[in-house]
Structure 1
Amino acid sequence: MNQLSSKENPVLDTFPKLLAANAARFPDETALREKQYGIWKSQSWSQYNSNVRSIAQGLQVLGIKPGEIVGIIGDNRPDWVAAEIAVHACQGVSLGLYRDLMEQELAYLVNYAETRIVFVEDEEQVDKFLNLEEECSCVEHIIYEDPRGVRKYDDPRLISLESLREQGEAQHKQEPASYESLVSAGNGETLAILCTTSGTTSHPKLVMLNARSVIEHCNDYLRVDPKDETDEYVSTLPLPWIMEQVYAVGMSLISRMTVNFVEESATMLSDLREIGPTFVLFPPRLWEELVATVRARMMDASWVKRTLHDHFLSKGLSGFDSNQPSALAEWGLFKALKDRLGLTNVRSAATGGAALGPDTFKFFLAMGVPLRQLYGQTELLGAYTIHSRDDVDFDTVGVPFCDAIKVRIEQPDAKGIGEIVTRHDNMFLGYYKDEVASQEDMREGWMHTGDAGYYNSAGHLVVIDRISDLATMNSGLRYSPQFIENKLKFCPYIGEAVVLGADRDYLTAMICIRYPILSKWAEKQRISFTTYTDLSSRPEAYELISEEIKRINETLPEAQRLRRFVLLYKELDADDGELTRTRKVRRKVVNQKYEDIIDAIYTDRQAIEVDTMITFQDGTQQRIQTSIVVHVLDDNKLADAREALS
Structure 2
Amino acid sequence: MVTGEIANWGPAGGNLPDVTVYDTLPKLLRKNAQDAPNEVAQREKDFGIWNEVTWRDFNDHVSKMAVAMREMGVEAGGVVALIGDNRPEWVWGEVAAHATGAMSMGIYREALEDEILYLLNYTKPLLVIAEDEEQVDKLLNLGDRIPYVQRIVYSDPRGMSKYDDERLWNLERFEEAGAAALKSEPELYDRMVDATNAEDVAILCTTSGTTSNPKLAMWQSRAFLGHAVNYLKADPKDSSDEYLSILPLSWVMEQMYAVGWNMIARMTVNFPEEESTAMADMREIGPSFVLLSPRVWEIVAAEVRARMMESTPWKQAIYYWAEKRGMEAVSKGQKDGLSEWLLFRALRDRLGFSNLKSAATGGAAMGPEIFKFFQAMGVPLKQLYGQTEGLGAYTIHKNGAVDYNTVGFPFPNCTLQVKDPDVEGVGEILVKHPHMMLGYYKNEEATREVFDAEGYFHTGDAGYLDENKHLVVIDRISDLAETSEGVRFSPQFIENKIKFSTFIAEAVIVGKDRPYLTAIICIRYPIVSKWAEQKRIAFTTYTDLAARPEVYEMMRAEVERVNADLLPAQRIKKFVLLYKELDADDGELTRTKKVRRKVIAEKYADIIGNLYSDTDYVDIDTVISFQDGTKQRIKTKLKVEKLGDAA
Aligned partner of 2:126 among 103, 116, 126? 116
- Distance (Å, rounded) in 1 between the aligned partners of 2:243 and 2:319: 30
Alignment partner of 1:440 is 2:449 = yes
Where in structure 2 are the equivalents of 1:336-375 lying within 5 Å? 336-375=346-385
| Structure 1 gap segments, 5+ residues each | 640-646
1:415 matched residue in structure 2: 424
Asked if the contact 1:400–1:407 (Cα under 8 Å) also holds between the matched residues in 2, the reply is: yes
Give the drift of 1:5.
3.1
What amino acid is the match of 1:442?
Answer: F
Residue of structure 2 aligned with 1:488, choices 498, 504, 513: 498
Task: Give the secondary structure class of the aligned counterpart of 2:92.
Answer: helix
Deviations 1:364-401, CA, capped at 9 Å, x for gaps = 11111111110000000000001110111010001101
Secondary structure at the aligned position of 1:290 is classed as helix
The Cα offsets for residues 416-462 of structure 1, whole Å up to 9 and x where unpaired, read as: 11000111100111101111100000111110000000011221110
Asked if the contact 1:27–1:44 (Cα under 8 Å) also holds between the matched residues in 2, the reply is yes
1:126 counterpart letter in structure 2: V
SS of the residue corresponding to residue 164 of structure 1 reads helix
Q: Aligned-pair distance for 1:243?
A: 0.5
Aligned-residue Cα RMSD (Å) equals: 0.9
| 1:269 counterpart letter in structure 2 | M
Distance in 1, Cα, partners of 2:519 & 2:484: 17
Question: In the TM superposition, what are the counterparts of 1:251-262 in structure 2 within 5 Å?
Answer: 251-262=261-272
1:64 aligns with 2:74: yes
SS at the partner of 1:47?
helix
> Between the two proteins, what is the percent identity of the paired residues?
55
Which of residues 417, 426, 449 in structure 1 aligns to 2:435? 426
Q: Is the 8 A contact 1:5 1:219 kept in 2?
A: no
2:611 maps to what in 1? 601
Query: CA–CA distance in 1 between the matches of 2:293 and 2:14?
Result: 30
The yes-or-no answer on 1:319 pairing with 2:329 is yes
Retained in 1: the 8 A contact 2:483–2:511?
Answer: yes
Q: Secondary structure at the match of 2:417?
A: strand
Q: What code does the residue aligned with 1:6 have?
A: D
Distance 1:53 1:209 in 2: 22
The answer to whether the 8 A contact 2:42-2:52 is kept is yes
Q: 1:82 aligns with which of 92, 95, 102?
A: 92
Query: Where does residue 3 of structure 2 map in the other structure?
Result: none
Change (3 A) 1:126 1:89: same
1:226 aligned residue (236, 258, 262): 236
Which whole-Å CA distance do the structure 2 matches of 1:246 and 1:287 have between them?
20
Per the TM alignment, residue 206 of structure 1 is displaced from its structure 2 partner at its CA by 0.6
Which residue pairs with 2:646 in the alignment?
638
Distance in 2, Cα, partners of 1:321 & 1:497: 25
Offset, 1:318? 2.2
1:4 to partner: Cα distance: 3.4
Pairing 1:6–2:30 present: no
Change (3 A) 1:4 1:324: closer
Q: How big is the shift at 1:266? A: 1.0
3-state SS in 2 of match to 1:469: coil
- Higher RCO (CA 8 Å, separation ≥ 6 residues): 2
- Report if the CA contact (8 A) 1:3-1:256 is conserved: no
Partner residue of 2:193 out of 168, 179, 183: 183
Find the aligned partners of 1:135 and 1:467 in 2 and give their Cα distance: 38
Distance 1:124 1:276 in 2: 30
- What per-residue deviation string (whole Å, max 9, x for no partner) do you get for residues 469-521 of structure 1? 11110111111000000011110100000000011111110000000000000
> In structure 2, what residue type is equivalent to 1:465?
D
Q: CA deviation at 1:3?
A: 3.3
For the residues of structure 2 that align with 1:538 and 1:603, how far apart are their CA atoms? 22
CA distance in 1 between counterparts of 2:18 and 2:516 reads: 55
Cα deviation for residue 37 of structure 1 reads 0.3
Task: Report the counterpart of residue 642 of structure 1 in structure 2.
Answer: none
- Does residue 293 of structure 2 align to residue 283 of structure 1? yes
1:72 touches 1:80 (CA, 8 Å); kept in 2? yes
- Distance in 2 between residues matched to 1:256 and 1:124, nearest whole Å: 32
1:273-305 per-residue CA deviation (whole Å, 9 max, x = no partner) reads: 000000011100011011100110000000010
SS of the residue corresponding to residue 635 of structure 2 reads: strand
Q: Say whether 1:216 aligns with 2:257.
A: no
- CA shift at 1:247, angstroms? 0.3
Tell whether 2:168 aligns with 1:158.
yes
| Aligned twin of 1:516 | 526
Task: State the TM-score, normalizing by the size of structure 2.
Answer: 0.97
How far off is 1:319 after superposition?
Answer: 2.0
Partner amino acid, structure 2, of 1:525: K
> 1: CA distance between counterparts of 2:463 and 2:328?
29
- Partners of 1:324 and 1:352 lie apart in 2 by 24
In the TM superposition, residue 6 of structure 1 has moved relative to its aligned partner by: 3.3
Task: Name the SS for the 2:497 alignment partner.
Answer: helix
8 Å contact from structure 1 (residues 33, 42) kept in 2: yes
Distance 1:314 1:506 in 2: 32
Partner SS, residue 468 of structure 1: coil
Q: Deviations over 1:206-227 (max 9, x none)?
A: 1011111010001101011100
Secondary structure of 1:638's counterpart equals coil
Corresponding residue number in structure 1 for 2:340: 330
Match of 2:621 in 1: 611
* Rounded Cα–Cα distance in structure 1 between residues aligned with 2:629 and 2:207: 25
State the Cα distance separating 1:316 from its structure 2 match.
1.1
Paired residue for 1:454? 464
Q: Give the letter for the 1:223 counterpart.
A: K
User: 1:644 aligns to what?
Assistant: none
Among residues 206, 219, 228, which one is paired with 2:216 in the alignment? 206
Whether 1:504 and 2:514 are equivalent positions in the alignment is yes
- Answer yes or no: is 1:141 the counterpart of 2:122: no
**Aligned residue pair count:** 634
1:138 positional shift: 1.9
Q: Residue type of the partner of 1:413?
A: D
Offset, 1:11? 2.2
Alpha-carbon offset, residue 322 of structure 1: 3.0
Q: 1:2 offset after TM fit, Å?
A: 4.6
Q: Distance in 2 between matches of 1:446 and 1:544?
A: 47
Which amino acid is 1:140 matched to?
A: Q
1:464 Cα deviation from its structure 2 partner: 0.3
For structure 2, which runs of at least 5 residues remain unmatched after alignment? 1-12
Q: Secondary structure at the match of 1:443?
A: coil
Query: Structure 2: how far apart are the matches of 1:191 and 1:88?
Result: 9
Shift of 1:152: 1.2
Give the conservation status (yes or no) of the 8 Å contact 1:33–1:260.
yes
| 1:170 equivalenced with 2:180 (yes/no) | yes
In the superposition, the TM-score normalised over structure 1's length comes to: 0.97
Q: Is the 8 A contact 2:574 2:646 kept in 1?
A: no
